[in-house]
């Protein structure tokens, strides 16, 4: 139970997940693959419209036509648009879940269609990559309910094939729940450690590694096209503080300086501790505004007690 609570409480930063994938040059290929998946699903729905007996009812036909009509523009949006915001990403998962459920619950013979519920795993792979335990639980809870309804329909419609339907159900449970949940748990733990590798533990500012990654993605940040200004600062006579008052007081000075930097230069500015008492700031603003803010920072540091 403790492990389950720890998994549920794991922190999730969607923006950081996206930035990390971008820094590893994985974001563009992911967009292409998701767009391609949308089109393949739409193509499968189009084929389903002409397969005899698969979409005989009006609900099944409507679900397939809706899938064909919507997956094309959604796939185009993934290919030509930017990466979705957190809200749009959740909306995409909701859309994919509902469309898939509508299709599998309204077409064909339930026993024949039951294995196609494994496609929920494809959607789950996206959730595993960019979201946290709560959305993953919601997604697989919805998938489980859909699969249960489909399995029940198969038992009612074709009781003579109940053993086959049960075999399909067992395979679906293994495919849909075993590997994704294990992979998600390990990915969350690795992601937590990776996040720490990009930040200075003393100040919470980015470290040199995080700074290099942020600079590599700077052109993709909102406002970067309007201009940016770099500020470099260090603390005079910092060694004397350590020598006279000890390293604990020196650490307190470093933390205070970092706090003032974050107050004056909040996100989306990039703030970094380069090492020791040296800091750097990349502000997405014009030179005059940044110089004025830097002067405010200098005064606040001088007045700090």
- Predicted confidence at residue 2, as pLDDT, reads 64
Q: Which two tokens stand for residue 296?
A: 């405010």
- Predicted confidence at residue 247, as pLDDT, reads 82
What is the rounded radius of gyration, in angstroms, for the C-alpha atoms of the chain?
26
Contact 53, 108 (CB under 8 A): yes
Q: Residue 226 class from Cβ within 10 Å (0-12 exposed, 13-18 middle, 19+ buried)? A: exposed
Report how far residue 196's alpha carbon sits from residue 206's, in angstroms, rounded to the nearest whole number: 9
Global pTM value: 0.69
- Predicted confidence at residue 73, as pLDDT, reads 96
- Predicted confidence at residue 217, as pLDDT, reads 63
Tokens 């950081």 found at: 16
In the set 6, 28, 158, 277, the catalytic residue is 277
Contact 188, 137 (CB under 8 A): no
Q: Pick from 296, 269, 249: which is nearest to 205 by CA?
A: 269
Tell me whether strands 229-234 and 270-275 are parallel, antiparallel or unpaired: unpaired
- Predicted confidence at residue 210, as pLDDT, reads 80
Question: Helices 247-264 & 238-245, crossing angle to 10 degrees?
Answer: 140
Report how far residue 154's alpha carbon sits from residue 54's, in angstroms, rounded to the nearest whole number: 15
Q: Which CATH architecture has domain 208-302?
A: 2-Layer Sandwich (3.30)
Q: Where are the domains of the chain?
A: 2-197, 208-302
Residues in the chain: 305
Report how far residue 263's alpha carbon sits from residue 267's, in angstroms, rounded to the nearest whole number: 10
Report how far residue 134's alpha carbon sits from residue 239's, in angstroms, rounded to the nearest whole number: 47
Q: How confident is the prediction along the chain (305 residues), in pLDDT tens digits per residue?
A: 566 676 666 666 677 778 777 767 788 899 999 999 999 999 999 998 888 877 777 888 999 999 999 999 999 999 998 888 888 999 999 999 999 999 999 988 888 889 999 999 999 989 988 888 889 889 999 999 999 999 999 999 888 989 999 999 999 988 888 777 777 777 767 766 766 777 888 888 888 888 877 776 665 554 555 678 899 999 888 888 888 888 888 888 999 999 999 889 887 788 899 888 899 998 888 888 899 999 999 998 888 76
> In 194-205, which positions are buried (b, 16+ CB within 10 angstroms) versus exposed (e)?
eeeebbbeebeb
Q: Which two tokens stand for residue 216?
A: 């590599």
Contact 280, 272 (CB under 8 A): yes
Note if 277 is an active site residue.
yes
Of the CA atoms within 13 Å of residue 112, those in its CB half-sphere come to: 7
Report how far residue 206's alpha carbon sits from residue 214's, in angstroms, rounded to the nearest whole number: 9
DSSP letter for 232, please.
E
């Amino acid at each position: 139970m403790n492990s389950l609570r720890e998994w549920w409480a794991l922190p999730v930063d969607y923006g950081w997940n996206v930035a990390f994938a971008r820094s590893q040059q994985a974001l563009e290929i992911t967009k292409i693959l998701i767009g391609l998946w949308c089109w393949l699903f739409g193509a499968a729905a189009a084929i389903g419209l002409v397969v005899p007996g698969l979409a005989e009812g009006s609900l099944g036909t409507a679900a397939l036509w809706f899938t064909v009509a919507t997956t094309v523009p959604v796939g185009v949006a993934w290919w030509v648009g930017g990466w979705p915001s957190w809200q749009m990403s959740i909306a995409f998962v909701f859309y994919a879940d509902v469309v898939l459920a509508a299709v599998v619950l309204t077409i064909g013979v339930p026993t024949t269609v039951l294995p196609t519920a494994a496609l929920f795993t494809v959607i789950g792979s996206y959730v595993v990559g960019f979201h946290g335990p709560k959305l993953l639980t919601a997604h697989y809870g919805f998938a489980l309910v859909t699969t249960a309804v489909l399995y029940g329909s198969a038992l009612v419609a074709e009781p003579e094939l109940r053993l086959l339907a049960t075999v399909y159900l067992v395979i679906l449970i293994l495919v849909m729940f075993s590997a994704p949940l294990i992979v998600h748990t390990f990915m969350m733990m690795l992601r937590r450690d990776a996040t720490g590798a990009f930040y200075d533990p003393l100040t919470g500012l980015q470290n040199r590694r995080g700074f290099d990654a942020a600079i590599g993605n700077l052109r993709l940040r909102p406002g970067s096209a309007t201009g940016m200004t770099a500020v470099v600062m260090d603390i005079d006579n910092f060694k004397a503080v350590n020598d006279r008052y000890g390293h604990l007081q020196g650490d307190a000075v470093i933390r205070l300086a970092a706090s003032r930097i974050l107050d004056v230069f909040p996100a989306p500015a990039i703030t970094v501790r380069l090492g020791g008492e040296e800091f750097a700031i990349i502000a997405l603003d014009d030179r005059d505004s940044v110089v004025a803010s830097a002067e405010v920072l200098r005064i606040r540091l001088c007045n700090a007690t």
